[in-house]
Structure 1
Amino acid sequence: MVIGSNAFAYIVLNRDRSGYRAGCMALSLSEQIVVNGSCSGIGCCEATIPFQSQNYFMLFDDSGFPITSFNICRYAVLTEADRFKFSTSYLTTPGSFEKDAVNLSVVLDWTISSETCKLALRNMTSYACASSHSTCIDDSGLGYRCGCVHGYKGNPYILGGCQDIDECLNSSKCHGICVNTPGSFKCDCPRGTHGNGSIPGDCYKNGSKIQLWGKLLIGFSISIVVVLLLSSVMKAEQGFSFRIFKEEELMAATNNFNEKNVAGEGGNGTVYKGTMNNRLVAIKKCKTIGEKERKEFGKEILILSQINHKNIVRILGCCLEVKIPILVYEYMSEGTLFDLLHGKEASCITLKTRLRIAQEAAEALAYLHSWISPPIVHRDVKTSNILLDENFIAKVSDFGASVLATGGDDQFVTHVQGTRGYLDPEYMQTGQLTVKSDVYSFGVVLLELLTRKKAFYMEALKARSLAADFLSAMKENNVITIVDDEIAGDGDTIGLITGLAELVRACLHMEGERRPEMKQVAAELNDSLKSMENK
């Protein structure tokens, strides 16, 4: 901020080892034309400085600018813009500005050193994260800081500084008997009952909840009965059949699960391409069958069997007569959106195609959040979980990590789950999972479509966060530099891309409540798509 009747000042900054200058001139030849609260150049002007500046100094240039009779003092100050309000008394009353200046503030980022976490960890003598439950945090290329891992709080810079959080002190997290554990907690049902103590009313005595769908998560023998009942209901209500497949049918469909029929592999299992009744299907076979996989298997059936949307992959049935459960889905011939964007055979993709895929995926998430009850939080929205059929129609898949929002939009989870680069930072910090966590993840997906860069990517042998790079570019009004050259070169689309960038920024807001709902995102993408089609 520069204050004065004829004052020219500029700031010299050091940023990324290069110099940067910004400045402005405050003009006023008459006391009568100066306006309280206005810093538009008359008596007061402002210049924005870039993010990640490391040091600065300010200079005045008085040559050729005479001091007026009503103002003899000129000021320049670096401050947070929202805290500054110009007053005409700063020009006319000596000492007025100095009195108010004590209430101004500057926002500072800080790091331990300029090293990345990877480099800092090589020298444990100087490594600052001293607590056994601390973690290193890379800070947007400036260096690193330390924090306590999830489930701990305190001072990560001293031995023993990160102390376990007693989650049991917060009764809203447990509706049964809470047992605190290091970094987490267990929520057991009272003695003589079974169920999930984290869910209100889910603890029950033997035999009292045999008919509930939740048995899918406990045992497969009862699951068969439940799924068969589910199949008949779905035939009547949703217009498509859910089948219980025999193992021999799936063996025949995949040529005994031949490696040549592998369509994809993930951390939890392998997907095979199969043919049944002259129809291609995708057959997902889990690698292991621990308690976690059993729950995810049941959860995926539970969720997918309740929903019917053109942009959500349809489950056709399952096989329960095998030791490791198998799920059968409709086959998506064009693979994942991740492969389309980043695969070895990736080809040119028009902005219109990218926009349509984004709009279709957004419609699916809007359906999960707003049009079914209770709402469903997908919890792992990413480009590898968006599949494409033979017409490149997008369909959201993989509901193994999803959560039924039975207690409303927000709920607490014991273990943060998701994929690096897409995880909602608010969810990571608080453990509070909401539908707005999906909105953040979708913002990263939309960003991948605009930039054709991975959520985490390597540049100059350094791992970079796409979301962090984007937010930095937005602050500098320079977002077009990270947009994919295939779509950035068309002058007619600059305005559209700018609008999409603003939508991404809204989705990536650090506060979940300030992010838009997915139905708003879908509507805005639909409007953008229509505007392209009308040109």
Structure 2
Amino acid sequence: MSVVMWFLFLFLAAVPAAMAEQQPPSSSSRPITLPGCLDKCGNISIPFPFGVKPGCFLDGFQVTCNHSFQPPRLFLAFETPDYNTFSRTSFHQVFDDTTRYDSAGNSSDYSSNSSAMPVELMDISVARAEVRAYGLVRSSCFRANNTYQAQQLQATTLTAPFTLAAMRNVLVGVGLRTKVIMATSFFYTRTLVRRLTCDSETSLSPDQATSGICSGLGCCQSIVTPTTTFFTFFEVDFNWGEEVIMPDDPRFPCSYGMVVESSYYNFSTEDMYGDDVLPKKFPRGVPFVIDFAIGNGSCPVAGGPPPPDYACLSGNSSCANATSDKGGYVCKCLEHYDGNPYIPNGCQDIDECALRDQYPDLRKDYPCSSDGICVNRLGGYDCPCKTGMRGDGKNGTCTEQFPLRAKIAVGATGALLATSVCVFLVLLRREKTRMKEYFKKNGGPILKEVSNIKIFKKEELKPVLKSSNIVGKGAFGEVYKGVLDGQQVAVKRPAVSVDAAQKGQFANEVIIQSRIIHKNIVRLIGCCLEVDVPILVYEFVSKGSMDDILHGDRKEPLNLDQRLSIAAESAEGLAYMHSKTTTSILHGDVKPANILLNDEFVPKISDFGISRLIAVDKAQHTNYVIGDRSYMDPVYLQTGLLTKKSDVYSFGVVLLELVSRRRATYADNNSLVMSFLDAHRIQSRSRTAELFDKEITAARDMELLEGLAGIAVECLNYDVDQRPEMTEVAERLLMLRRSCHK
């Protein structure tokens, strides 16, 4: 029994933008439509002659932006059911009518509507004079209850100015045994006007079908040629006028048909299996391409005036007659221009040189040889040959005119220069990398957070670190005098590298001194961490060290009052470190060389390289003994246990040097210390008097000197517990100084 089954085609959803042909970019500020007109619906641009409201489109180019979807969708505004008011759900309910047949082909339900469905657009290209739209995949299926169901929708209508694009669309059929027909007909009379068909059959075995190949086995396709683009009211049908045959294999219950953009659909054998596979695979449909043209007129005769309603309004545009049998014409921007030719000033000059760089595939369209230099100009571009060459880069005719010897000389010079630059850059990069490593290794990430300490760049210290600025030099390194940030500073640069264990203590010295603010302690201004051994920047103390004043080349006379003042204020600085900070600080290397004097002989404790932060009344144990052994506590030498009393012992030795002006030396078993201890033990005032510096041995001062020596001897007690605290030493020295003044 013959059954006519009508399967009409609606083009609905959107293909990903990535499938669109790549086009050179247009300026984001370049208008695409008339002033005051909507230029976008959801993600789709609306260029003139298309438009939504009156005055924004040419006749036949009205579109509707349906905001019931999110994002909104764009449709051609044909006379259709009132789809502008459809919700997301009702849109599909109204237009998804079905016709059901039993196995004998008898209709169990049939519904139809002769009106056309709206065509949803995916994008519009005025440059190609085409739009891309969507249509559903049509299906014809036998259900499990032996009923035949064919999905049916209203026919798709393309009226002027729209036609199917020739050679850009194909009719595709998928199924075990499928005959698909695209026809223009009149719905009620079912009069077939013209048709395009394709047949798919795998009569022997489904294994005959091969994924990726659509040649009639499981998949067929026919190209929409210029002779079939006339369809304006078309539908997709299966087995036109033939008997409906139940499938032999229940694994293949459905046949499919669709009009789709060429090369979009890639056949897979899995599409033949199961129930409604392709409609589920493409729930919003597949794209197809529509051409458009302006009206029924034609381009003006060369040299003649354009008609009053001429649509090519932009300068730098041209007109081309449409190739379809519906007539009309399209507008295009001239070569080397891009934009919308349908609006005034819509065609703008393009930068071919920039396009060549951004889109290498366009270089064949805008040739410029490697020997030329691309230069953009209005209405085109030039490609002059590079310096030293002649010809035309567009034609690839650039030839060299530079003499060989000159080329060799220039090449050699250039190579040498390039090599030098490369070497310099490599060394510069290596140096920067090394400085970053030093900065991190020297505690930079921690010290950056310390307040009142400036982290200097290596470059900032270069003006100071000159041989002419050296003011001190020894085994420890060099000290430079200079000016940084408008103030005099002393820059201490160690002479040799230190081991990893000592480097780990560097941040400790900086942290300690950042916490100390006292008139008798040298203020640390900052440090440089971008070197192997960090460099410290201190306030400048003009007279140098006590060691220089007592024993060195810069020796100066000192009266008893000055010496008592130096002793008392030095003790005050050490007492502050021991007892008047939130955390007790041990110096660890108290000696005359680390007590600096300014022009008024005010002492300042310096050099905290081996200092330690400890809790009050606790000891700090170290695995290695460091410091000057001539001033070092013998208990510390034996045990490695550094305490506040270790600093007291060292200060006792400093007091002996201060009153005797004799240097303490470890090599001779420290005869200075032993001499004073022996004299004190036998209580011989005469022997003690012989040890004092002759400058201060006036008879009236002997009692003060003996008191000063007595304090020193108490500091040197071998029994750590019998030594006085530094605060007590400072108070007693202050009392001696006041007695001297009286």
**TM-score, normalised to structure 2's length?**
0.39
Q: What is the Cα deviation at residue 222 of structure 1? A: 8.3
**Other-structure match for 1:283:** 491
CA contact (8 A) 2:591 2:654 kept: yes
Q: What is the Cα deviation at residue 276 of structure 1? A: 1.8
CA contact (8 A) 2:442 2:506 kept: no
**Other-structure match for 1:383:** 592
Determine helix, strand or coil for the equivalent of 1:380: coil
CA contact (8 A) 2:442 2:529 kept: no
The CA deviation string for residues 351-392 of structure 1, in whole angstroms up to 9 with x for no partner, is: 110110111110111011111132111110000000112222
Letter in 2 for 1:354: R
Determine helix, strand or coil for the equivalent of 1:516: coil
Q: What is the Cα deviation at residue 309 of structure 1? A: 1.0
Q: Which deviates the most, 280-289 or 402-411?
A: 402-411
Determine helix, strand or coil for the equivalent of 1:421: helix
**Other-structure match for 1:236:** none
**Other-structure match for 2:730:** 522
Q: How does 1:311-460 map to 2 (within 5 A)?
A: 311-406=520-615, 408-456=617-665
The answer on 1:479 being equivalent to 2:688 is: yes
Determine helix, strand or coil for the equivalent of 1:229: coil
Q: How does 1:106-505 map to 2 (within 5 A)?
A: 220=440, 223-231=443-451, 241-252=452-463, 254=464, 257-287=465-495, 288-406=497-615, 408-456=617-665, 464-476=670-682, 477=684, 478-488=687-697, 490-505=698-713
CA contact (8 A) 1:334 1:387 kept: yes
- Supply the distance in 1 between the matched residues of 2:691 and 2:739 (Cα, whole angstroms): 23
- Supply the distance in 2 between the matched residues of 1:463 and 1:299 (Cα, whole angstroms): 32
Higher helix share: 1
**What count of residue pairs does the alignment treat as equivalent?**
302
User: What are the ranges of 5 or more consecutive residues in structure 2 without an aligned counterpart?
Assistant: 1-437
User: What are the ranges of 5 or more consecutive residues in structure 1 without an aligned counterpart?
Assistant: 1-217, 232-240
Structure 1 221/381 Cα, relative in aligned 2: closer, same or farther at 3 Å? closer
CA contact (8 A) 1:412 1:433 kept: yes
- Supply the distance in 2 between the matched residues of 1:422 and 1:464 (Cα, whole angstroms): 9
CA contact (8 A) 1:333 1:388 kept: yes
Q: What is the Cα deviation at residue 281 of structure 1? A: 0.3
CA contact (8 A) 1:457 1:466 kept: no
CA contact (8 A) 1:263 1:272 kept: yes
Structure 1 293/411 Cα, relative in aligned 2: closer, same or farther at 3 Å? closer
- Supply the distance in 2 between the matched residues of 1:368 and 1:277 (Cα, whole angstroms): 28
**Other-structure match for 1:113:** none
Letter in 2 for 1:227: L
CA contact (8 A) 2:595 2:604 kept: yes
- Supply the distance in 2 between the matched residues of 1:415 and 1:224 (Cα, whole angstroms): 25
- Supply the distance in 2 between the matched residues of 1:259 and 1:283 (Cα, whole angstroms): 12
CA contact (8 A) 2:447 2:507 kept: no
- Supply the distance in 2 between the matched residues of 1:463 and 1:414 (Cα, whole angstroms): 24
Q: What is the Cα deviation at residue 449 of structure 1? A: 0.5
Q: How does 1:29-44 map to 2 (within 5 A)?
A: none
Determine helix, strand or coil for the equivalent of 1:471: helix
Letter in 1 for 2:597: L
Q: Give aligned-pair identity as a percent.
A: 43
Letter in 2 for 1:230: V
Determine helix, strand or coil for the equivalent of 2:526: strand
Q: What is the Cα deviation at residue 474 of structure 1? A: 1.6
The CA deviation string for residues 235-291 of structure 1, in whole angstroms up to 9 with x for no partner, is: xxxxxx321112222112x1xx22121121243332111112442101111231431
- Supply the distance in 1 between the matched residues of 2:635 and 2:480 (Cα, whole angstroms): 36
CA contact (8 A) 1:272 1:282 kept: yes
- Supply the distance in 2 between the matched residues of 1:408 and 1:526 (Cα, whole angstroms): 24
The CA deviation string for residues 11-49 of structure 1, in whole angstroms up to 9 with x for no partner, is: xxxxxxxxxxxxxxxxxxxxxxxxxxxxxxxxxxxxxxx
Determine helix, strand or coil for the equivalent of 2:449: helix
Structure 1 412/454 Cα, relative in aligned 2: closer, same or farther at 3 Å? same
The CA deviation string for residues 193-226 of structure 1, in whole angstroms up to 9 with x for no partner, is: xxxxxxxxxxxxxxxxxxxxxxxxx972683332
- Supply the distance in 2 between the matched residues of 1:532 and 1:286 (Cα, whole angstroms): 41
Larger Rg: 2
**Other-structure match for 2:740:** 532
CA contact (8 A) 1:421 1:466 kept: no
Determine helix, strand or coil for the equivalent of 1:448: helix
Letter in 2 for 1:246: K
CA contact (8 A) 1:339 1:384 kept: yes
- Supply the distance in 2 between the matched residues of 1:404 and 1:228 (Cα, whole angstroms): 19
CA contact (8 A) 1:374 1:406 kept: yes
Q: What is the Cα deviation at residue 412 of structure 1? A: 2.7
The CA deviation string for residues 375-432 of structure 1, in whole angstroms up to 9 with x for no partner, is: 1111100000001122221000111111112484223322222212211112222322
- Supply the distance in 2 between the matched residues of 1:341 and 1:319 (Cα, whole angstroms): 32
Q: What is the Cα deviation at residue 481 of structure 1? A: 1.1
Structure 1 411/289 Cα, relative in aligned 2: closer, same or farther at 3 Å? closer
- Supply the distance in 2 between the matched residues of 1:382 and 1:289 (Cα, whole angstroms): 22
**TM-score, normalised to structure 1's length?**
0.54
**Other-structure match for 1:513:** 721
Determine helix, strand or coil for the equivalent of 2:553: coil
**Other-structure match for 1:70:** none
Determine helix, strand or coil for the equivalent of 2:564: helix
Determine helix, strand or coil for the equivalent of 1:230: coil
Structure 1 293/262 Cα, relative in aligned 2: closer, same or farther at 3 Å? farther
Letter in 1 for 2:488: L
Determine helix, strand or coil for the equivalent of 1:316: strand
- Supply the distance in 1 between the matched residues of 2:505 and 2:473 (Cα, whole angstroms): 17
- Supply the distance in 2 between the matched residues of 1:463 and 1:395 (Cα, whole angstroms): 29
Determine helix, strand or coil for the equivalent of 2:637: helix
- Supply the distance in 2 between the matched residues of 1:322 and 1:522 (Cα, whole angstroms): 39
